[in-house]
Amino acid sequence: MAAQRRIDLVLDSVKRLLRIGATGNLLNLLQKQHPADLAQIFGELQDKEKEAAFSLLAERNGRLAMEAVSELGPETGAALLATRSAEEIAKLAQEIPSDDAAALIDYLPEELSAAVLDLMRPKESGVVENLLEYDEQTAGRIMNPHVFALSEDMTVGEAITELQTNRDVEMVFYLYVVDERNHLVGVVSLRRLLLVSPETPLKRIMTADLMSARVDTDQEEVARQVASYNLLAIPVVDEENKLVGVITVDDIIDVIKDEATEDIYRLAGVAGDERAFTPAAESLRKRLPWLGINLGTAFLAAFVVSLFEGTIDRITALAVFMPIVAGMGGNAATQTLTVIVRGIALGELTWGNSRKALLKEAAVGVGNGVILGLAAAAVVWVTRGNPVLGLILCAAMIINMFVAATAGTLIPLGLRAANVDPALASSVFITTLTDVFGFFSFLGLATIFMRYLLPS
């Protein structure tokens, strides 16, 4: 809270200094901020203010400006850069680590990103291009290729000297050990170096049994490894076990957040890479297909209703209550689906223990169906004076909430078994199912027991 208040104060000052054009003071203020705070400040400025503040800072302190852009996330960051010339971007991109530069350049319009890569120093652009060759969402794409490694023939004393001469290597806590052909052979913690005498060979104190990720490992899998084993960093190797990079826990946190966002979005039918400020035309295009599928399924439900038009024609009250059955089924299904999909994502739920989950969800569905169905029946009896209509509503709700619970469990587990992301397709299937079953059971029962419903 205190940190937030400080940022708000800085934000107010930035806006004021921009308005009165006090560039000297503004520059001083901006330069004192942490990149993460700058990113938050940029995020709250209007587009024009943001451009102005960024330009000012970029000219004086390109590194800080680019670190802030990096913290904005690749999409927003690239949008801020995209108004500048390829020359400027190329110069600025070389101020930050290659993995961060690659992420930003990847989001620039295609022509611009090609021009930027052309203009960067050959060595730097080579590294960035290499990173961009790995598939998205793999270890290779998010790793930092500048990894600090020690030779297995060194002593502890030599290792410390090596560390002292490489002061600009950042975030070193595990020291990776490689053989003469750069194969990853072990790891030593920084702390361990302090506990033994300088003559000790590294080989003697290193741990040879260490975890690593392959360049083509999915980033979600890497995140799971780092999180379950409480690692601070994980080395990345190529197919020959040669050390090519490192992924630190701060990058893993970004992956975990992104994957959580993706899960939340998929359940709601939103593309994983959409953000609050994605341009309207792009959002529209991204959301339309899912809404289109939903329209199709809505017509399917409408078709089921149309089968009973004769019944509704005679008892209009059915039209009043039928949305309740479908709606409650949909809500119950969403609850089940969410618990199951999240359980799969967190690794708690597998095919092996799915029977237990199914029985539980079915029991919860029927239980809630009975309680809420009776409550609904009572309301209908009181307001419409017809106990049979109430009982039909109750029965349809119980049936539909049972269907919701079983489908909400089995569909995501089935998708997972078929190697499809369970969050992706589940909600479309399930709301269709609860709509169709809801209308069918309610209107079907009403048709069967019609003679008790007609005014006598």
Q: Kindly identify the residues of this chain, within the stretch 70-109, that bind a copy of itself according to CB under 8 A.
A: 71, 76
The interface with a copy of itself within residues 343-382 (CB under 8 A) comprises: 343, 346-350, 352-353, 356-357, 359-360, 363-364, 367-368, 371-372, 375-376, 379
Q: Out of 20, 280, 382, 418, which residue is the one contacting a copy of itself (CB under 8 A)?
A: 280
The residue assigned the tokens 């017509």 is 299
Q: Check binding of 193 to a copy of itself (CB under 8 A).
A: yes
Handedness of CA 403, 406, 411, 414 (dihedral sign): negative
Cβ 389 vs Cβ 442: under 8 Å: no
The interface with a copy of itself within residues 239-258 (CB under 8 A) comprises: 249-250, 252-254, 256-257
Q: Which of 362, 359, 339 is CA-nearest to residue 349? A: 339
The interface with a copy of itself within residues 325-344 (CB under 8 A) comprises: 326-328, 331-332, 334-335, 337-340, 342-343
Distance CA 101, CA 67 (A): 10
Amino acid at 261: T
Using the contact rule CB under 8 A, the part of the chain among 57-65, 90-98, 263-271, 447-455 near a copy of itself is 263-271
Least spacing, CB of residue 94 vs a copy of itself, in Å: 21
Q: Which of 383, 10, 132, 251 is CA-nearest to residue 259? A: 251
Which positions ≥6 away from 152 have C-beta within 8 Å? 177, 178, 179, 185, 186, 202, 203, 206
Joined together, the tokens standing for residue 404 give 């919701």
Q: What is the phi/psi pair of residue 39, to 5°?
A: -60, -45
Q: Out of 26, 234, 246, 322, which residue is the one contacting a copy of itself (CB under 8 A)?
A: 322
Q: Which is nearer to a copy of itself, 21 or 352 (CB)?
A: 352
Q: Which is nearer to a copy of itself, 110 or 239 (CB)?
A: 239
Q: Which is nearer to a copy of itself, 132 or 428 (CB)?
A: 428
Q: Which of 216, 213, 279 is CA-nearest to residue 246? A: 213
Q: Could you give the count of Cα atoms lying within 13 Å of 386 in the half-sphere of its Cβ?
A: 19
Q: Which is nearer to a copy of itself, 76 or 125 (CB)?
A: 76
Least spacing, CB of residue 114 vs a copy of itself, in Å: 29
Least spacing, CB of residue 60 vs a copy of itself, in Å: 22
Q: Which is nearer to a copy of itself, 164 or 456 (CB)?
A: 164
Size of the site for a copy of itself (CB under 8 A): 116
Q: Which is nearer to a copy of itself, 65 or 339 (CB)?
A: 339
Q: Check binding of 157 to a copy of itself (CB under 8 A).
A: no
Least spacing, CB of residue 180 vs a copy of itself, in Å: 25
The interface with a copy of itself within residues 410-429 (CB under 8 A) comprises: none
Which positions ≥6 away from 374 have C-beta within 8 Å? 394
The Cβ of residue 416 has, within 10 Å, a number of other Cβ atoms equal to: 21
